[in-house]
Structure 1
Amino acid sequence: MTKIIGLTGGIGSGKTTIANYFNELGVPVYIADDGAKKIMQSENIIEEIKTVFGETIFENNILNRSKLAEIVFNDKDKLTQLNAIVHPAVKEDFEVWLLQHKNHEYIIYEAAILFESGRYKECDFVITVTAPVEIRIERVLKRDNTTREQVLSRMQMQWNDENRISRSNFVINNSNLKNAKEEVVKILKILDIKQKQS
């Protein structure tokens, strides 16, 4: 049976880079955020989002994700409401994807809020990707059209590294990509040994 490896980390930790490296090594990867983006284009989800957030976050019936992010990352209740719409649909999408990859020993389920959403309970192993806060802020500022204050606000909405690490089987420090890639290879070797023993 395919083992699900949850991969998580705070904003700017570089978890998607690590996920892509697992993929290069032959491990299929499901990126929850990409699943959510796809789902948020479906008509029934658009209607549910309009009901909760109104028409103003849509332009020509296309969701303005940055406007939505501005609302939910400043209001925990709104974030909870959005998650209640999107998470069940992402779960269904992932289950379909998992069936398509059932011939693989492992798959990666990459999600920023793996713990907050409770999805970690469905994983056989969990990996947390970490990096120092300043490096994370710098990465997000380079990547997104945002401010330092907005990045810090989003960090505060997520679990901190201590909480994630305490519930993880493996930790990858992603301050240096070469070292982080070496950690990925080590983890896969450990998982192969566990698989042979089971």
Structure 2
Amino acid sequence: MLKIGITGGMGVGKTIVCRMFAILGTPVYDADTRAKWVMNNDAALKQELTNAFGIEAYTQAGELNRAYLSKTAFNDPQKLALLNSLVHPHVGNDFTKWVEANQSAPYVLKEAALMFESESWRQMDEIIVVTAPMDVRIKRILQRDPHRTQTEIEIIISKQLSEEEKIARAQHIIYNDDQQLLIPQVLKLHEQFLAKV
């Protein structure tokens, strides 16, 4: 079974590309969604996060206190690095179990915004980067997240690995620039991956 990573910066359209692969029958692992699940359900990780960030990391009901963790970690590079160093290994283990449960598929996709930053690209056989021009990305994010300002979006994007670096490290590129059709690009890659297994 091939393990294909799919990544790209905020607003490039990774989710829509993954939906297209899913329609073709490909199992898709959404690392961000699974990370939230693991942070709420993995007892060992919950203990590690509580030890690192205090009892405020979880509500009295035992749910992840996302607002507190965001406020605490995202403005402090050292605390953010600590948070990622705790969460990413548990998500990696969760992905390994998920792959085992999807052994019958010719290939699987793992969608992760921080594929390179988290080192999870090392678990993959090949990487797809979805890319789009910055002005298109900002317009999409403003429509999707009306609570964010353009300045906030630019700050978040500036903290991510550059688009150029991601493209340089990938084996495949999908252009979601509102000029080129997505479906033919996805179908071409789907056929390439099936031909390899």
1:137 is displaced (CA, Å) by 2.0
Gaps of 5+ in 1: none
Write the distance in 2 (CA, Å) between the matches of 1:64 and 1:148.
26
In structure 1, what is the Cα distance between the partners aligned to 2:126 and 2:99?
16
Normalising by structure 1, we get a TM-score of: 0.88
- Measured in 1, the distance between the counterparts of 2:37 and 2:179 equals 29
What residue number does 2:51 align with? 51
- The 8 Å contact of residues 73 and 157 in structure 1, kept in 2 or not, is answered as no
Q: How does 1:126-145 map to 2 (within 5 A)?
A: 126-144=127-145, 145=147
Residue 30 of structure 1: how far off its partner (Å) = 0.4
Tell me the equivalent position of 2:90: 89
Match of 1:184 among 183, 186, 191: 186
Match for 2:10: what amino acid?
I
Please report the TM-score for the alignment, with normalisation by the length of structure 2: 0.89
Contact 1:73–1:154 (8 Å) recurs in 2: no
Amino acid at match of 2:24: L
Superposed displacement of residue 46, structure 1? 2.7
The CA distance in 1 between the partners of 2:71 and 2:137, in whole Å, is 19
C-alpha distance in structure 1 between counterparts of 2:19 and 2:53, whole Å? 33
Residues in 2 aligned to 1:74 and 1:137: alpha-carbon distance in whole angstroms: 21
Matching of residue 30 in structure 1 with residue 29 in structure 2: yes
- Once the two structures are TM-superposed, the CA of residue 72 in structure 1 deviates from its matched residue by 3.1
Aligned pairs for 1:127-166 (under 5 A) are 127-144=128-145, 145-166=147-168
User: Partner residue of 1:174?
Assistant: 176
Aligned-pair Cα RMSD in Å = 2.0
Q: Deviations over 1:40-87 (max 9, x none)?
A: 112432332233223445443432324423443322211111111111
Partner SS state of residue 189, structure 2? helix
**Letter of the structure 2 residue corresponding to residue 54 of structure 1:** G
Q: CA deviation at 1:170?
A: 0.7
For 1:141 and 1:131, locate their aligned partners in 2 and report how far apart those are by CA, in whole Å: 15
Q: Give the length in aligned residue pairs.
A: 194
> How far does residue 191 in structure 1 lie from its aligned partner after superposition?
2.3
Return the alpha-carbon distance in structure 2 between the equivalents of residues 74 and 105 of structure 1. 41
User: In the aligned structure 2, how far is the partner of 1:168 from the partner of 1:192?
Assistant: 19
> 2:49, 2:57 within 8 Å by CA — same for their partners in 1?
no
Shift of 1:128: 0.1
